[in-house]
C-alpha cells in the first residue's frame, strides 16, 4: 500500500505528504468487530477489507488496474477481496502465477435483491479449534473430495449461482447455497484428521430449515455454514424472515435471564413484525406445522448465543463523524469510551 501511495494534501494545514514521505511514517491501526472473531463469520475478511480500504483512503492510493485493491486484501484473508465491494460479489480464481488476476468483481449492487433478508444464528462466539487457513491447507493435502469439488463442482456452481442472483431465482439460489455448504463440510470430514466445524446446534438449525422447505413444497430459506458452527440463513422475503425468526425463537429460545434486545440484534423491524416484545411472547409461540411428528426435538434455552437480522451490505466505506472513529483525530490514540 505504501508503494502505491500518492501525494496527499492535509486540508486543515495545507501540508503535503508526498509519496516518499509515506514510506517513513508510522501508522496507528485500530480494528474492532461487532460480531465474533475467528468463529466462522468472516471476521478476518471484514478486518482486512477495512484495513486495505482505510489505507487506500489515507494514502490516496490509485489502482494500477481495476480490482488491484481486492488482490491486496486477499493477501491478508482470501474472502477479504469480496468484502471490499457491496451487494453480491464474485472472487475470480485467476490464471496468472503472480495472482494479480485473482480479484473480486461485483455481480450486483446491494439494492439488486432488496427482498432478501439474512438472519445469522450465532451458536458460539468461541474461537474455533481449527483456523480457516490451516484447515484448508490440511484439506488440500489429504482430501480427495476437495480435489473433485474444486475441479468439477465449484466452477459449475459459480456459473449457476451467478444466473440465480441476476434473475433473483430464490429456489435455485437456495438449492446451490445449501448443497455447497454441505459439500464443503463433507470435505472437512474427508480431511485427515477430520475437521469438525459444525456442532449439534448447527445440525438442528439445518434440520429446522430442511423440514420447513420440504413441508412448504419449495425453498423458503437457504442456509450456509463457513468454517464454524454459526448459520447464515437467507429468507426469500420479509414475510418469510418473520416466520423464520418465530421458528428460531420457538426451537432455540433465549435463557430465562436473557435480554431480548441483546438476543435479537440488527434490523429490529423483523422482530417487531413477529409480534415479539418480551420473553413471555416467546413462551406463547406455538410449534410450526412441520414440527408435528418430530420425535425428541430439544428446546434448550440459551443454546444459541444471539441472532442478527440484516441484509446485503454496502461494502467498505468511510464512516461519518468523529463519534464513529476508534481513534482520536487530534492525538491518533484510541478513543476512550465513557
Confidence of residue 303 (pLDDT cuts 50, 70, 90): very high
The chain-wide mean pLDDT, for the chain, equals: 92
Percentage with pLDDT > 90 across the chain? 74
Segment 114-141 mean pLDDT: 85
In a domain, residue 8? The reply is: no
Give the number of other CB atoms < 10 A from CB of residue 287. Answer: 13
In a domain, residue 336? The reply is: no
For the cut 80, the answer to whether the pLDDT of residue 338 exceeds it is no
In a domain, residue 10? The reply is: no
For the cut 80, the answer to whether the pLDDT of residue 129 exceeds it is no
Joined together, the cell numbers standing for residue 213 give: 422447505
In a domain, residue 280? The reply is: yes
Q: 91 and 31 in one domain?
A: yes
Q: 124 and 136 in one domain?
A: no
Q: 123 and 67 in one domain?
A: no
Q: What is the pLDDT of residue 291?
A: 86
Handedness of CA 60, 64, 65, 67 (dihedral sign): negative
Q: 165 and 43 in one domain?
A: no
> What residues are paired with 265 via a beta bridge?
308
Q: 179 and 96 in one domain?
A: no
Q: 243 and 167 in one domain?
A: no
- C-alpha 285 chain-centroid distance: 29
Q: What is the pLDDT of residue 336?
A: 73
In a domain, residue 333? The reply is: no
CATH number for 151? 3.30.70.890
Q: What is the pLDDT of residue 323?
A: 63
Q: 177 and 95 in one domain?
A: no
Range of the domain at 180: 131-195
Segment 296-321 mean pLDDT: 89
Question: What is the model's pTM?
Answer: 0.90
Q: 86 and 124 in one domain?
A: no
Confidence of residue 58 (pLDDT cuts 50, 70, 90): very high
Segment 110-132 mean pLDDT: 86
Q: 91 and 124 in one domain?
A: no
In a domain, residue 338? The reply is: no
Q: What is the pLDDT of residue 321?
A: 66
Q: 123 and 236 in one domain?
A: yes
For the cut 90, the answer to whether the pLDDT of residue 273 exceeds it is yes
> What residues are paired with 8 via a beta bridge?
17
Cα 252–Cα 236–Cα 168 angle in degrees, nearest 5: 150
If one counts the domains in the chain, the total is 3
Confidence of residue 128 (pLDDT cuts 50, 70, 90): low
For the cut 90, the answer to whether the pLDDT of residue 329 exceeds it is no
For the cut 90, the answer to whether the pLDDT of residue 280 exceeds it is yes
In a domain, residue 6? The reply is: no
Q: Which of 147, 167, 195 is the last residue of a domain?
A: 195
Confidence of residue 32 (pLDDT cuts 50, 70, 90): confident
Q: Which of 151, 170, 195 is the last residue of a domain?
A: 195
Q: 242 and 120 in one domain?
A: yes
Q: What is the pLDDT of residue 335?
A: 83
**Phi, psi angle pair for 132, to nearest 5°:** -60, -45
In a domain, residue 224? The reply is: yes
- Cα separation, 39 vs 199, in Å, equals 12
CATH number for 37? 3.30.230.10
Q: What is the pLDDT of residue 51?
A: 96
Q: 277 and 221 in one domain?
A: yes
Q: Which of 148, 176, 195 is the last residue of a domain?
A: 195
For the cut 60, the answer to whether the pLDDT of residue 322 exceeds it is no
Q: Residue holding cell 455454514?
A: 225
181-228 pLDDT, tens per residue? 999 999 999 999 999 999 999 999 999 999 999 999 999 999 999 988
Q: How far is CA 138 from CA 76, 143, 148, 195, in A?
A: 19, 8, 16, 9
Amino acid at each position: 500500500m505504501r508503494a502505491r501511495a500518492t501525494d496527499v494534501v492535509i486540508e486543515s494545514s495545507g501540508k503535503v505528504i508526498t509519496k516518499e514521505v509515506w514510506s517513513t511514517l508510522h501508522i496507528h491501526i485500530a480494528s474492532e468487530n461487532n460480531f465474533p472473531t475467528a468463529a466462522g463469520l468472516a471476521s478476518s475478511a471484514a478486518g482486512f477489507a477495512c484495513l486495505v480500504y482505510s489505507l487506500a483512503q489515507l494514502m490516496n492510493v490509485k489502482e494500477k488496474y481495476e480490482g488491484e485493491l481486492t488482490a491486496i486484501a486477499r493477501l491478508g484473508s482470501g474472502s477479504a477481496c469480496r468484502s471490499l465491494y457491496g451487494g453480491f460479489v464474485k472472487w475470480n480464481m485467476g490464471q496468472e502465477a503472480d495472482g494479480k488476476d485473482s480479484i473480486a468483481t461485483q455481480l450486483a449492487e446491494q439494492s439488486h435483491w432488496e427482498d432478501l433478508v439474512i438472519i445469522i444464528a450465532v451458536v458460539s462466539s468461541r474461537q474455533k479449534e481449527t483456523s480457516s487457513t490451516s484447515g484448508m491447507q490440511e484439506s488440500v493435502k489429504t482430501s480427495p473430495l476437495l480435489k473433485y469439488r474444486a475441479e468439477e463442482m465449484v466452477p459449475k456452481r459459480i456459473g449457476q449461482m451467478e444466473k440465480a442472483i441476476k434473475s433473483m431465482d430464490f429456489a435455485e439460489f437456495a438449492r446451490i447455497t445449501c448443497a455447497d455448504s454441505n459439500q464443503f463440510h463433507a470435505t472437512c470430514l474427508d480431511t485427515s484428521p477430520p475437521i469438525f466445524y459444525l456442532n449439534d446446534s448447527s445440525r438442528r438449525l439445518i434440520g429446522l430449515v430442511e423440514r420447513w422447505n420440504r413441508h412448504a413444497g419449495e425453498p423458503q430459506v437457504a442456509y450456509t455454514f463457513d468454517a464454524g458452527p454459526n448459520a447464515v440463513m437467507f429468507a426469500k422475503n420479509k414475510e418469510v424472515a418473520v416466520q423464520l425468526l418465530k421458528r428460531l425463537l420457538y426451537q432455540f429460545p433465549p435463557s430465562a435471564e436473557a435480554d431480548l434486545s441483546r438476543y435479537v440484534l440488527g434490523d429490529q423491524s423483523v422482530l417487531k413484525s413477529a409480534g415479539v416484545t418480551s420473553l413471555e411472547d416467546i413462551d406463547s409461540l406455538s410449534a410450526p406445522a412441520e414440527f408435528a411428528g418430530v420425535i425428541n426435538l430439544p428446546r434448550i434455552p440459551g443454546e444459541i448465543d444471539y441472532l442478527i437480522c440484516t441484509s446485503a451490505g454496502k461494502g467498505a466505506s468511510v464512516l461519518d463523524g468523529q463519534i464513529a472513529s476508534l481513534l482520536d483525530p487530534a492525538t491518533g490514540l484510541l478513543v476512550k469510551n465513557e
